[in-house]
Structure 1
Amino acid sequence: MNPKTAILIGATGLTGGILLTLLLKDSSYSKIKIFGRNSCQKSHPKIEEHLGDLFKLETFAEAFKGDVVFCCIGTTKAKTPNKETYKKIDCGIPVAAAKLAKRNKIETFEVISVLGADVNSNTFYNSVKGEMERDVLAIGLKNSYIFQPSLIGGDRDEKRLGEKIAQVSFKFFDFVIVNKYKMIAAETIAKAMLLVAKNGYEETRIESHQIKNISDRG
């Protein structure tokens, strides 16, 4: 089997950073092309970084070539209070990446969304993710996989007080929370993304409990 090239967007985030570590250890991939605004701060022969404005992702078209795209980009209300900018990050960047994947004949595209994503949701965050899912799927890539985790657990560099409180609450009440809504570790998501890229999956949208099952079986 010829070694593959992975494209990773969001390598400086929690899940993206863990996924990067897994990709570097995986002999199936000989190159990881990272697209971002800031450096991942890692030096490795496999890594090829492309830094710039992700709102203008099309400017990277020539370099945006590989076998699979992993899109782990995302922000929060606290980090990005402006709704227009928020939408450009959580919807605009993944959709632009999917369009480039289609243009450059990349067959597999994976993106992190959220459990409850719905274009008609009254919750702004969920509606934006719903728009992203709709627009990505409309592009018509051969293999599109949308990961819909519940609250993601893990240690982030930046402080997110509200998220930290939610994580503690989820852990405390874990025994009464339905599996679908249980907090899920970032490591679990990253592992599942890698496994689905290799083995495929029978569904396009992969909910939180399914993500955990994939990771556990792998």
Structure 2
Amino acid sequence: MDKTALLIGATGLIGSHLLQILLAEPTYKKIIVFTRKSIQTTHPKLEEHVLDFDRLEDHFRTINIPIDDVFSCLGTTIKKARTKETMRKIDVDYPLKVAKWTKQLGANHFLLVSALNANAQSKIFYSKIKGELEEKVTRIGFQTVSIFRPSLLLGSRTEFRLGEKAGAMMYSLLPFLFIGSLKKYKAIAGETVALAMCKTANNPQKGIFVIPSHKIEERAKR
């Protein structure tokens, strides 16, 4: 197959790994990346678009090529966004706009990195907006929607996140706690999530699939 993929969130922990995996994956002939700043990577298959996400609609008009798979790894923290309004824009509005546009271009599969406790009715803002995005994406009409809900992410980030560092330390000291019903809380490497996303894209089934953290790890090992 000679598929074309679109990736948003290529500078993040999962997205940066996913980009390298997709570039090496022979089933893709082109990887389009939307990014705020250059990822400083060159590759014959890579088509980078540095753009203002607040003007996505203007950029959409410049691209009219078929896209098969859409990978959404875009997200932020309240610390970086500073306001809930900005965080909602990055975590919900931008991915949703991309989803609607790529569906019009014929995309069949939307693969979304969400959150462990995503729930549109949650009183926790982060969980609530992730749940809202999940619900809205599933209504667009893709043949397949794969929603990945990783637990605590392991890996090197450009910014320091105290919660992740503390969680990673706890997991390394007490791994025996994460068994049975607690499996889904087991920490997972960002690279593992990325690998599972690529494998899922290349073995799609029609429908809407929510993949918890321990199942993500199983898919990556297939």
Q: TM-score normalised by the shorter chain: which range applies? A: over 0.9
Q: Please report how far the alpha carbon of residue 27 of structure 1 lies from its aligned counterpart in structure 2 after TM superposition.
A: 1.3
Q: 2:38 matched to which residue of 1? A: 39
- Find the counterpart in structure 2 of residue 191 from structure 1: 195
Look up the match of 2:145: 144
| SS of 2:202 mapped into structure 1 | helix
CA contact (8 A) 2:69 2:201 kept: yes
Q: Which residue of 2 aligns with 1:163?
A: 164
Structure 1 residue 4, shift from structure 2 partner: 1.3
CA RMSD of aligned residues (A): 1.4
Match runs of 1:86-101 below 5 Å: 86-101=87-102
Identify the residue that residue 12 of structure 1 maps to in structure 2: 11
Matched, 1:209 2:188: no
Which residue pairs with 1:63 in the alignment?
63
Question: Mean Cα displacement is larger for which, 185-194 or 23-32?
Answer: 23-32
How many angstroms apart in 2 are the aligned matches of 1:211 and 1:90? 21
The alignment of Structure 1 onto Structure 2 pairs a total of residues equal to 216
Percent of aligned pairs sharing the same letter = 44
Please say if residues 55 and 89 of structure 1, whose CA atoms lie closer than 8 Å, have aligned partners that are also in contact.
no
Extract unaligned runs of 5+ from structure 2: none
TM-score of the two chains, using structure 1 as the length reference: 0.94
1:92 aligned partner, one-letter code: D
Letter in 2 for 1:90: D
Shift of 1:105: 1.2
Q: Tell me how far 1:64 sits from its aligned partner.
A: 6.3
Equivalent AA in structure 2 for residue 83 of structure 1? K
Q: Whole-Å Cα distance in 2 between the matches of residues 211 and 203 of structure 1? A: 15
Deviations 1:78-122 (A, max 9, x none): 211200000001111111111011111111111100111001111
Amino acid at match of 2:11: T
Letter in 1 for 2:63: A
Deviation at 1:47, TM superposition (A): 0.9
The TM-score with structure 2 as length reference comes to 0.92
Per-residue CA deviations over 1:150-184 (Å, capped at 9, x if unaligned) read: 11111112222232122212322221122111001
Question: Cα distance, 1:5 vs. partner?
Answer: 1.1
8 Å CA contact retained: 1:10, 1:73? yes
List runs of 5+ in structure 1 lacking aligned partners. none
